[in-house]
Chains A and B, each alone.
Chain A
């Protein structure tokens, strides 16, 4: 069985602060994919990043960066110099490509509030 844990339910920061969202996953498979999605107040799910289990390089995209640590089964997400528009719920998800359909297992989400 696969499981994704986002232990932080809510994080509140002041604009320009950095915020790191934790994601810990469980899977028995050696091949898998990890994702982060953003859900702004409008409700849609916005794809942010995909990382496969063979690629442990950290990635940076603008103010976003991701730290994949296979040894600790973690895939953490950092927003640098946060802005009010970053306020959203952020979901980490896991996909097993050896299942028939690559369905996603989501964590419970972390609500980020950035105050001006």
Chain B
């Protein structure tokens, strides 16, 4: 099963700071997704990214969030000015060109905003 890696595994930041979460998928992936899971809650869709553009975004994905694929491989999620409520596990997922509706998730980045 192709892997997705995410860095860092855990990030602690102060409220108001910018954070960048990184996802490194395998090159034949077309669809990329970010999901968020607040501790003890369900996994929520944030944004999807296809062909280097945002395909769809949820209500959670406001102007504080942005995604990009700056170098054609890494896929990043930036939170411009973190809030306490941004503390969560952030998962990157990918779909392949052969099976894009079957999403495999990375190990997640735990973001703690203090």
The answer to the question of B33 belonging to the interface, with a C-beta cut-off of 8 Å to chain A, is yes
Contact check, A101 vs B55: say whether CB atoms are below 8 A apart.
Answer: yes
Contact check, B42 vs A91: say whether CB atoms are below 8 A apart.
Answer: yes
Q: What's the Cα separation between A108 and B108 when bound, in Å?
A: 18
Main secondary structure of the interface of B (DSSP, over half): strand
- A101-B107 contact in complex given A91-B42, A108-B41, C-beta closer than 8 Å: no
Interface size class of B (residues with CB under 8 A): 20 to 34
Interface size class of A (residues with CB under 8 A): 20 to 34
Q: Give the nearest-CB partner of B50 in chain A.
A: A101
Interface centre among B41, B105, B107, B110 (most CB of A within 10 A): B105
The answer to the question of B75 belonging to the interface, with a C-beta cut-off of 8 Å to chain A, is no
Q: What's the Cα separation between A109 and B102 when bound, in Å?
A: 19
Contact check, B45 vs A45: say whether CB atoms are below 8 A apart.
Answer: no
7 nearest A-B pairs in the assembled complex, by CB-CB distance:
A101-B48, A45-B105, A101-B55, A102-B101, A106-B43, A103-B45, A44-B107
